[in-house]
Amino acid sequence: MAEEPKTTELSGPLSPLDRASVLLMTVGEQDAAQVLKHLGPREVQKVGMKMAQLANVQRGSVETVFNDFISVVREQTGLGVGNEDYIRKMLVSALGEDRAGSLIDRILLGGNTKGLDTLKWLDARSVTELIRYEHPQIQAIVISYLESDQAAEVLQSLPENTRLDLVVRIAKLTTVQPTAIQELNDILEKQFSATNAPQKGLGGVKCAADILNFLDTGVEAKIMEALQTTDEQLANSIADLMFVFDNLKEVDDRGIQSLLREIASETLILALKGADEELREKIFRNMSKRASELLRDDLENKGPVKVSDVQAAQKEILAVARRLAESGEIVLGGKGGEQML
């Protein structure tokens, strides 16, 4: 007999993912389907999983979601949507310079990346099998185009002795010539128009750093150690843009409080088992007295845990931190953080 999917009863403040899921569950199948068409593959997966887990949603929560949605919609206007400058500013504001760059190219420059976009809907294993025997430069282009977490899964699925070379290639990528795009077209068996096609902004040191952030800590450490030996300058440039768990010390108190609202208690306990006293105290300081006392007790009473479990919990928290940073809710400090004046 098939297992029943786990359900989640919503309580307390709703996260943006909770609100989106509740809204889509209540507007009807057809309207929900039209909304999902405009989301990316990773977003569809996250929202779909959350929708499948919803149970016992209180009427008050539904009303809150709809009231918030109506308030936001009332503030929106469609005037000026056809203006290029408006579109650029809107996308950069919503996604940040890095993520908006390639999207702006596709929208405003008429680039066609249908084949590459299709890869984002595949699981990491399928993408890996598709590029496993291709030239490393083609592999680097494909991995650069994927979302960072998916790219990390693909990179980790490839042979260990190829990972360093691919990270270097990704970090040194800036644009892709039309001939390279054409070669990629052949691999994906898609029809592109490469003639007079504009160069595509892909890869770069920031892209490599983002991918490494999503790798298992052990794999990440091996790659960075090898890179320090082969190209110390590039290794330092990548390291400067990486955001690691210890860098949470540099996030301001308001940012830490926003982050804590998104993290499950058990995940936080596991992650802090591998944190130093300074970071622990920063976390305690941004909780209520009662909550910090409970967390201290849980940490003291928690027995030995696997290093891999601690690293996984820290990676999970870092993924939440990056999501909040991308949405503008927090500013990441430390490596990769934006300086504030």
In a 3-state reduction of DSSP, which class is residue 181?
A: helix
143-183 residue pLDDT tens: 888 888 888 889 988 998 899 999 998 888 877 666 666 66
| Lowest mean per-residue pLDDT among 122-131, 186-195, 196-205, 321-330 | 186-195
| Stronger pLDDT, 169 or 9, i.e. the higher one | 169
Q: Give how far Cα 131 sits from Cα of 33, 138, 150, 161, Å.
A: 31, 8, 14, 16
In terms of Cα–Cα distance, which of 76, 226, 211, 230 is closest to 148?
211
Share of the chain above pLDDT 70, in %: 69
What whole-number distance in Å separates Cα of residue 182 and Cα of residue 81?
A: 32
What is the pLDDT, as a whole number, of residue 333? 55
- Domain spans of the chain? 8-74, 111-241, 245-326
27-41 residue pLDDT tens: 777 777 777 777 776
251-297 residue pLDDT tens: 888 889 989 988 888 889 999 988 889 999 999 999 998 888 998 88
User: Hey, do 111-241 and 245-326 end up sharing a CATH topology, with the first three levels equal?
Assistant: yes
Task: Inform me whether the pLDDT recorded for 109 exceeds 50.
Answer: no
Share of the chain above pLDDT 90, in %: 6
Which residues on adjacent β-strands are paired with residue 176?
A: 200
What is the pLDDT, as a whole number, of residue 173? 83
In terms of Cα–Cα distance, which of 148, 149, 147, 129 is closest to 139?
129
Q: Give how far Cα 311 sits from Cα of 216, 245, 316, Å.
A: 8, 9, 9
Residues 55, 7 contacting (CB under 8 angstroms):
yes
Q: Which CATH number fits domain 111-241: 3.40.50.150, 3.40.50.920, 1.20.1560.10, 1.10.220.30?
A: 1.10.220.30
Task: Inform me whether the pLDDT recorded for 228 exceeds 70.
Answer: yes
Q: What is the mean pLDDT of residues 125-139?
A: 83
DSSP for 127-173, please give it. Answer: HHHHHTTS-HHHHHHHHHHS-HHHHHHHHHHS-HHHHHHHHHHHHH-
| CATH code given to domain 245-326 | 1.10.220.30
What whole-number distance in Å separates Cα of residue 305 and Cα of residue 177?
A: 49
What is the pLDDT, as a whole number, of residue 111? 43
Q: What is the mean pLDDT of residues 126-154?
A: 85
Task: Inform me whether the pLDDT recorded for 335 exceeds 50.
Answer: no
